[in-house]
A = this chain, B = another copy of it.
């Protein structure tokens, strides 16, 4: 059972994991160096713990204790009980969903482990927006994908905002980071996957046709601004597009990935 510890001093060093949550640079350093990440909201905190991440501590206002009592019962980590004004003072923002947890990251699995048994895999190249990374995880999990691979420069899916937007899908889908960017797609090919890149390239074919008959599929998505790199576009086995109305910009990456996952999962 977590020990409940009432904290009234915003400078209490035990709250260090929860400081300045809106300062992305600071959080990146802090989380990497301490091997932690934050979960926010009752549902997401629960999923993080149930997903096997050991809690370092919890931070919440008293009114959230009951809802998470069963989760708190499973751990010896301390639960810092604070009022909402102090929570805001420490974190730097109004914690709408009340409950926060700091949890331990785990070593990332190898690519082969993540691919083992997977039939439909998402591969994200350099998506730098945490909101988009979270949205892609959520859509992938909801629409039938089995795993996610991230390029070396893709944003951290355990960053608080990505976890939150993804509603904890990052705990449901096996994922890891690709060690190599340049040959990532040929290596997926060698592992038995057909790589299909979503792109606006001239030779892209309708996504429905591109995935038809594919057994093991790696669906490759790039960032909103620049799309996929030339290297990944040319290295993919197939290039696919979501047919769109004339004169309209591309969909944003969250919408495009949802449609692409929906179509691909029904191949």
Contact = CB atoms under 8 A, between A and B. Distances in A.
Interface of A: 135, 138-139, 141-144, 165, 167, 169, 172, 242, 244-245, 247-252, 254-259, 262-263
Given A254-B254, A254-B255, A255-B135, A262 B248 contact: no
Contact of A167 (B139, B249, B254, B256): B249
A252 B255 CA distance: 10
A135 B251 CA distance: 9
Given A135-B252, A138-B255, 20 more contacts: A135-B254, A135-B255, A139-B255, A142-B248, A142-B250, A142-B251, A142-B255, A143-B244, A165-B252, A167-B249, A169-B248, A172-B247, A172-B248, A251-B258, A252-B254, A254-B255, A254-B258, A255-B255, A259-B262, A262-B262
24 contacts: A135-B254, A138-B249, A138-B255, A139-B255, A141-B245, A141-B248, A142-B248, A142-B251, A142-B255, A143-B242, A143-B245, A144-B245, A167-B249, A169-B248, A172-B248, A251-B258, A252-B254, A254-B258, A255-B255, A255-B257, A258-B258, A258-B259, A259-B259, A262-B262
